[in-house]
Structure 1
Amino acid sequence: MGTLPTDHERRGFMKLIASAAALTSCCCASVGRAFAHETAERGGAIAGGEKSAKSRMLGIGADVLQSQAPIAAINMYLNGFHFYADDMGRQIEAHHYCHHVNEDFFQCVIYDGNKSHSRLIGIEYIVSEKIFRSLPADEKPLWHSHRHETTSGELVMPRIPMEVEHTAIASLVNTYGKTWHTWQIDRDSALPLGIPQLMMGFTQDGQLEAAMIESRDTELGISTLKERQNREDLAKSAGPVQAGADGWQSGQAAQLVLQKLPLKNRRG
């Protein structure tokens, strides 16, 4: 049996723990301030005070002890653009982090950037053409096609070899997405005000503002033109867009509006 630590050893051990905690707190505070500064430069800081030492330490503990299986399953990063279903003039760059659940279904969380402090602004579900064809007629207009996004070079997978990206993008050409943005960052970058909005994708050249493409390309160090040239074979082999998708093309767009309704099944 080992000997018990002396009072001196115990005090030394506790000081070591306290020092480590203080160092962690200091580092977290510095990083937090840096993130807050960078966020402010990119459109204004998110409302709220800086994290306390207690909150940071709780976060570190949760990160070590708790499972993050749904987040860990994310295995694809896509960058592209959306517009509000009822207003093509409101255009948003969207960073998608997706889980390829099976051959016919992806689910993605969408951020306004690719940094740890980026705002979570929406979700997108992506289905194969087979599943899209099976949807009810009144459901299809809520979904947008990916044919133009993929073949034009608008949709990219940053930081992976172009050959690998080409293979991955090829699997998305004939898919369809249903996208909701929960944070209208073009109107308020501090808080997610209002209600979720249905988003759509672009279907032809000239719809997406050139300045947005240029800004994205500069930020990510890519060339949309080169991406497009590398995908000429995909454009030639892509099938036609299925009827019912891109509902806004009829001139009438679906969109959410807030409505008060009587409460049902109230308890208490």
Structure 2
Amino acid sequence: MKANAVMVGTIAVVMAALALFGGSQRAPAGNPKPSEGWTLHIDALLHYPGKPSMVAHHYCKPVSGLIECQLYDSDAPDARLVGIETIVDAATYAKFPEAEKKLWHYHKTEIAKVSATLPDLSPEEADKVVKSILETYGKIYLVWDPGRQSMPTGYPTVTVLKTN
């Protein structure tokens, strides 16, 4: 119960930040689609093992008590979807078995190391959003690695960020 309250609190902070900075907490009224509401844009390095210097463009939104991000190889209109990041709070992470924990990265140590930026926000707005996600953990599923392949061949992988 307490862990759920913590995650709800984390999600509430992120949703409030999105609302303050022009994002939407919910998809538009009417017939909302799952593809709507991905309003938080985060750029970060070190996500692609084949080319660590390549920027991963995250587009994120709160979904059912989590934060989920779609990862693209660019921010151009024809960008290719290459992965997904799921974000949980510290209480949820603490419940995972040790083997599962090895697949997740801690955002407090990762954010600075991956040169994360929020290009659609002012520095002040970005700082507030970053502070709201510091105590969270992320797990990245790469559908394919655009640093190694020009087409989505091979198996999807869970990428453990190399931030040491």
TM-score, length basis structure 2: 0.72
Taking structure 1 as reference, are residues 153 and 93 closer, same or farther at Cα in structure 2, changes over 3 Å only?
closer
Q: 1:197 to 1:153 in 2, by over 3 A?
A: closer
- In structure 1, C-alpha distance between the alignment counterparts of 2:39 and 2:47, rounded to whole Å: 25
Q: Which whole-Å CA distance do the structure 1 matches of 2:68 and 2:100 have between them?
A: 18
Q: Is 1:94 aligned with 2:56? A: yes
CA distance in 2, matches of 1:159, 1:83: 20
Out of 122-131 and 140-149, give the one that drifted further: 140-149
Task: Give the drift of 1:187.
Answer: 2.1
Q: Which amino acid aligns with 1:95?
A: H
Partner of residue 182 from structure 1, selected from 143, 149, 162: 143
Alignment of 1:118-137 (within 5 A): 118-137=79-98
* Structure 1: tracts of 5 or more residues without a match: 1-66, 205-268
The question of 1:140 aligning with 2:97 is answered: no
Contact 2:107/2:135 (<8 A) preserved: yes
Distance in 1 between residues matched to 2:142 and 2:135, nearest whole Å: 23
SS in 2 for 1:121: strand
Q: Which residue of 189, 193, 200 maps to 2:160?
A: 200
Deviations 1:131-157 (A, max 9, x none): 111112221111111123324571111
Structure 1 residues 93 and 194: CA distance shift in structure 2, 3 A: same
Cα distance in 1 for residues equivalent to 2:99 and 2:33: 34
Distance 1:126 1:172, change over 3 A: same
CA RMSD of aligned residues (A): 2.3
Question: 1:73 deviation in Å?
Answer: 2.1
Return the letter of the residue paired with 2:98.
Answer: A
1:79 Cα offset (Å): 0.5
Aligned to 1:78: 42
Answer yes or no: is the 8 Å Cα contact 2:42–2:59 preserved in 1.
yes
Identify the structure with the greater helix proportion. 1
Aligned match of 1:248: none
Name the amino acid aligned to 2:153.
L
Q: CA 1:157–1:121 in structure 2 vs 1: closer, same or farther (change >3 Å)? A: same
CA distance, structure 2, for counterparts of residue 68 and residue 96 of structure 1: 21
* TM-score normalized by the length of structure 1: 0.45
**Distance in 2 separating the partners of 1:83 and 1:69:** 28
Q: Which has the higher strand share?
A: 2
Instruction: Tell me the number of residue pairs that the alignment of Structure 1 and Structure 2 aligns.
Output: 134
User: 1:107-130: per-residue Cα shift (whole Å, max 9, x none)?
Assistant: 111000001101110111011111
Contact residue 44 and residue 114 of structure 2 kept, 8 A: no
Matching residue of 2:13 = none
User: What SS does the corresponding residue of 2:71 show, helix, strand or coil?
Assistant: strand
Cα 1:148–1:155 change in 2 (3 A) is same
- Contact 1:98-1:106 at 8 Å conserved across structures: yes
1:96-115 residue pairs with structure 2 within 5 A?
96-101=58-63, 105-115=66-76
1:101 deviates by: 2.8
Q: Does structure 2 conserve the Cα–Cα contact (< 8 Å) formed by 1:97 and 1:109?
A: yes
Asked if structure 2 preserves the Cα contact closer than 8 Å seen for 1:105 and 1:125, the reply is: yes
1:69 aligns with 2:33: yes
Return the offset for 1:184: 1.9
Q: Is the 8 A contact 2:45 2:116 kept in 1?
A: yes
Equivalent-residue separation in structure 2 for 1:117 and 1:171 (angstroms): 30
Larger RCO of the pair (alpha carbons < 8 Å, separation 6+): 2
* 1:158 match: 119
Structure 2, unaligned runs of 5 or more: 1-30
